[in-house]
Amino acid sequence: MTAVSDVILPNDNHNDEMKLAKDINIKNKRATFDYAIGDTFTAGIVLTGTEIKSVRMGKASLVDTFCYVEKGEVWVKNMYIAEYFYGTYNNHNARRDRKLLLNRKEIAKLEKSGKETGFTIIPLRMFINERGLAKLVIGIGRGKKEYDKRQSIKEREDKRSMARMFDKG
C-alpha cells in the first residue's frame, strides 16, 4: 500500500510555458513619441503556428509598423516576427502582411479616420491574453511636429527628476 506522499506527480511544463507566454508585452515606443494617439482598439491577429511560437518567445518587433484598411479588412504591414528556430520548411516570412480581427463598426471607424489627412493607424502594443491568444492594440494617431516632440521630451525629463526627488526624500 502506498501513501499519498509516495506518489510522484509529473511536472506540468505546459502551464509553466503558458505563464511565461502571458508575460509577453511588446511595445512600440516610437509610436507615442512620433504620434498623438486618439482612439485605441484591441484586435486579434491571424498568425501561423510558427509565428505564434515565436511571439510567445518574445521574438517580435513593432518598429516601423503601420496598419491599413483594404476591402473591409484591416492589415498590419512590416511587423517583424522572427522565424521560429525549430521551424522546418513550413517556417513563415519574417515581415509578411498579417490580418487583424475587428468588428465591422471598428473597421468602419478606422477606415474613416485613416482616410483623413494627417491620421494613420499605428500598432501600439502586442500581448498574449489570458486565453493564450495574441492581441494587438492599435491606435489612430496624428503625426507630431518637431516642437511637440521637444515638449514630450521635456515632460519625460520632468517626470524623471520628480521621481528622483521623491526617492531621495
Question: Which pLDDT belongs to residue 23?
Answer: 79
More confident residue, 93 or 107: 107
List, in sequence order, every residue forming a beta bridge with 79; answer none if it has no partner.
Answer: none
Going by DSSP bridges, is the β-strand pair 119-128/80-81 parallel, antiparallel, or unpaired?
Answer: unpaired
Amino acid identity at 15 = N
Find the range with the poorest average confidence among 108-112, 139-143, 164-168: 164-168
Position 6 pLDDT exceeds 50: no
Question: Which pLDDT belongs to residue 101?
Answer: 93
Q: Which domains does the chain have, with CATH numbers?
A: 22-143 (2.40.280.10)
Give percent of the chain above pLDDT 90: 20
Confidence band, pLDDT 50/70/90 cuts, at residue 15: low
pLDDT per residue as tens digits for the range 44-85: 999 888 888 888 888 888 888 888 888 989 999 998 888 887
Question: Which pLDDT belongs to residue 66?
Answer: 86
pTM of the model: 0.73
Distance CA 21, CA 56 (A): 5
Q: Three-state DSSP class for 39?
A: strand
